[in-house]
Structure formats: structure tokens, C-alpha cells
Chains A and B, each alone.
Chain A
């Protein structure tokens, strides 16, 4: 199975900050990398697919980059509604493993 490792596990930031979350795959997954946002008590929401494609309706302050084994999710200017947990997920092969999550908290 492909292992997905996110860093950091938690992050404190302020509104307006630029934030970067990284995700590393245990072997190459090309660009089969997706990012999700989850708020407490809610289902996850797709933000980015295929490493860098923005899902319809997602604000442009969210961006994704990377390929092969190293990927990043960047939020260019944090808004209050962005404080949540973020997960990466590889869809290169079954099982479609998720990273352990990054909890983004208000500083």
C-alpha cells in the first residue's frame, strides 16, 4: 500500500496568513493526489484534484502543486472559514490512502 505522510500535523495561523501543508507519498503517484477540507461534524469537501486542479466552487486562494512523491496545498490568504482539518489522498492505486490530516487552528 502507498503511505501518505502529511506535515505538519497541526498548525496555528492568523487570518490573512499564507499557509502551506505538505504531503509525501511513499512511492510515485504521478499527479493522482487530491486535497480535502473537513470541518467538525461535517463530511469532507474536495478542494483540489489531480494535484493542482481546483474543484468547481472552491475559492482561488486554495492552490495545489507537486508531482511524483511531493505535494503541497497552499492557502494564499487565510480566511476565518478556512480553519479546519485538511487531508491529502492518493488515487493512483487501491487502497486510496489518506494522509493523517493537518489541523489548522486560529492563532
Chain B
């Protein structure tokens, strides 16, 4: 059974940093693109970033470029999102999802809440 379990969400002050993790199981992790998708409270879905299977290509939505870094550890079947210089508008539930560019998101984690507030 495919499982994606996010962790690391927290309350953080504007300008602060946070690292999200996603533990994957039930599939061959290094065979898939992986992505982060977020959803602000009461709003729609927004794709944030994705990373190619071997981890050599990364893509970001413009609003997080230069602040967020996606990475993966294929040996540990884990996906990460390092978030720096956080802003109030980054407040959202962050979902880890299997899939990326040119593919669909067929499995999602349960999400982890990031709140940026003073």
C-alpha cells in the first residue's frame, strides 16, 4: 500500500525557517517524480515544487523561488521542503504528492499545517 506521511509543520514567525519531511512507503520511491502542493485556509490547491526521480531537476512556483528548496533522499524514501524567509502568505496545509511535471498526482499525504504569524 502506498503511503505518504508528512511532518514538520508548525507555527513560525515571519522571516523564519521550517523543514517539512515526507516519508514514503509502498512503492519504488526513486522511480517517481515527487511534489509539494499547498492549500491556504479556505482556498484552492497550489502546486509549490517538484523534483525529478534522480533529483537532478527541480521546479518551483514563482512565489517561492529563492526561498524554498525541494530535495529527496532516495535511500530513505524521503522528500523534503526547506522553507526560508517565510511569509504570512505561506500559511497553508502542505501536501506531499507522488507525481510531477507531465504526470498526475495519484497519491497524497494527509498534509501538515504551516502557520506563519507573529
Residues of A within 8 A of B (CB): 1, 32, 34, 36, 38, 43-46, 49-50, 55, 87, 89, 91-101
Which residue of chain B lies nearest to A97 when distances are taken between CB atoms in the complex? B47
Question: Which secondary structure characterizes the binding site on chain A?
Answer: loop
List A contacts of B88 (CB < 8 A): none
Contact B44 A43 (CB under 8 A): no
**B45 contacts A49, C-beta separation under 8 Å:** no
Tell me which residues across on chain B come within 8 A of A46, comparing CB atoms: 104-106
State which residues 88-118 of B face A: CB under 8 Å: 95, 99-106, 108-111
Known: A96-B47, A97-B47. A43 touches B110 (CB 8 A): yes
Q: Which of A1, A43, A91, A99 has a CB less than 8 Å from the CB of B104?
A: A91
Question: Per a CB cutoff under 8 Å, which of A32, A45, A91, A98 touches B44?
Answer: A98
Q: Complex formed: what's the CA distance from A85 to B105 in Å?
A: 16
Q: A44-B95, A96-B50 are in contact. List 15 more A-B contacts (CB 8 A).
A: A34-B105, A36-B105, A43-B95, A43-B108, A44-B105, A45-B108, A49-B106, A89-B105, A91-B102, A94-B50, A94-B59, A95-B59, A98-B45, A98-B46, A98-B47
Question: Number of B residues whose C-beta is below 8 Å from A?
Answer: 23
- In the complex the two chains form, is A101's CB within 8 Å of B44's CB? yes
Known A43-B95, A43-B109, A45-B108; contact A92-B45, beta-carbon cutoff 8 A: no
Q: What is the distance, in angstroms, from A62's C-beta to the closest C-beta of chain B?
A: 14
Closest beta carbon of chain A to B53's beta carbon, Å? 15
A54 to B27, CA, bound (A): 21
Q: Which residue of B lies closest to A46 (CB)?
A: B106
Least CB distance, A24 to chain B, in whole angstroms: 16
A98 to B46, CA, bound (A): 7
B102 touches A87 (CB 8 A): no
